[in-house]
Amino acid sequence: MTAAIRTRGLGVTFPSRQGAVRALHNLDLTVEPGTVFGFLGPNGAGKTTAIQVLLGFIQATTGTAALFGEPVTESIARERIGYLTENPDTYTFLSGRELLTMTGRLFRMSGRQIRLRTGQLLEETGLTAVADRRIAGYSRGMRQRICMAQALMNDPDLLILDEPTGGLDPLGRMEVRRLIAARRAAGKTVFFSSHELSEVELVCDRVAILVGGELAAEGRVDELIRPGESLERYFIELATSKNRGKEQR
């Protein structure tokens, strides 16, 4: 079966006045279809850089990255993706329904397809009652959900989420978990970064942890942590030991 995401030797280096800055180094990662995959790491670990390579926003300096067997540099690789950024910002002068309608047109969906898909997503995200209200009047949680609906408009096979629960209250986080679980139940792949490690434990099949731009650990949560240990404790110990090792070199 073709992997939903596969990177080999992936590296990204940015130029700066102080010299080259290595944001990502030799990343080998495989994400199987139909799984929920957590992409973890401290701030500055390279998570967002890796996601931007997968989305085609930036080019890798070294190595390769593919989505469903297609190089990320090819537009066909991105046709099967939905993406929710860490701090979603959208056209707040539009209503939720208008935003989804516009998105459907960008995907060249027919009028009937747009109406059906919009209705489904508004219901699934609990926004039917406010569908015709301007997004400017939405709460933070409602904005997160309408942007999630926008990311799902094309029924993507791969949903990439960058900190989808950041700043949300417990009910908002529960809603995001429910939406992720629904994608998995439909056979879709979800790849998301998060600092909410308790959320990751609840929903992820596998996780990868980046530290200093390098892959420090990868596997099922129950494979990585000892009985009675939390993912948060494992994460802190791993990140601390890796950073200490780099300082000593």
pLDDT tens figures, 115-135: 999 999 999 999 999 999 999
3-state secondary structure of 145: helix
**Most confidently modeled of 129-143, 196-210, 219-233?**
129-143
Confidence of residue 47 (pLDDT cuts 50, 70, 90): very high
What is the mean predicted confidence (pLDDT) over 45-72? 93
**Could you tell me whether strands 62-67 and 70-71 are parallel, antiparallel, or unpaired per DSSP bridges?**
antiparallel
pLDDT of residue 245: 54
**Could you tell me whether strands 206-211 and 62-67 are parallel, antiparallel, or unpaired per DSSP bridges?**
unpaired
Instruction: Kindly report which listed range (10-19, 165-174, 190-199) carries the lowest average pLDDT score.
Output: 165-174
In what helix (H) or strand (E) does residue 32 lie, and over which residues does it extend?
A: none
What is the mean predicted confidence (pLDDT) over 47-65? 94
Confidence of residue 249 (pLDDT cuts 50, 70, 90): very low
Are 236 and 244 within 8 A, CB to CB?
A: no
pLDDT of residue 243: 63
Category of 26 on φ-ψ map: left (φ > 0), alpha (ψ -120 to 50) or beta: left
- Tell me how far apart the alpha carbons of residues 51 and 162 are, in angstroms, rounded to a whole number: 8
- Tell me how far apart the alpha carbons of residues 93 and 27 are, in angstroms, rounded to a whole number: 41
Q: What residue type is assigned to position 12 of the chain?
A: V
Reported as half-sphere exposure (CB side, CA atoms, 13 A), residue 3 has a value of: 13
- Tell me how far apart the alpha carbons of residues 72 and 58 are, in angstroms, rounded to a whole number: 10
- Tell me how far apart the alpha carbons of residues 213 and 46 are, in angstroms, rounded to a whole number: 5
Are 83 and 151 within 8 A, CB to CB?
A: yes
- Tell me how far apart the alpha carbons of residues 47 and 24 are, in angstroms, rounded to a whole number: 8
- Tell me how far apart the alpha carbons of residues 245 and 241 are, in angstroms, rounded to a whole number: 6
248: pLDDT strictly greater than 50: no
- Tell me how far apart the alpha carbons of residues 233 and 29 are, in angstroms, rounded to a whole number: 23
50: pLDDT strictly greater than 60: yes
What percent of the chain has pLDDT above 70?
A: 97
Alpha helices of the chain — where are they, by DSSP H? Answer: 47-54, 75-78, 96-106, 111-124, 140-151, 170-185, 197-203, 221-224, 231-248
Q: What residue type is assigned to position 96 of the chain?
A: G
Are 78 and 71 within 8 A, CB to CB?
A: no
3-state secondary structure of 13: strand
Q: Write down the mean pLDDT value for the chain.
A: 90
pLDDT of residue 170: 83
pLDDT digits (tens, 9 = 90+) for 130-175: 999 999 999 888 898 999 999 999 999 999 999 888 777 888 888 8
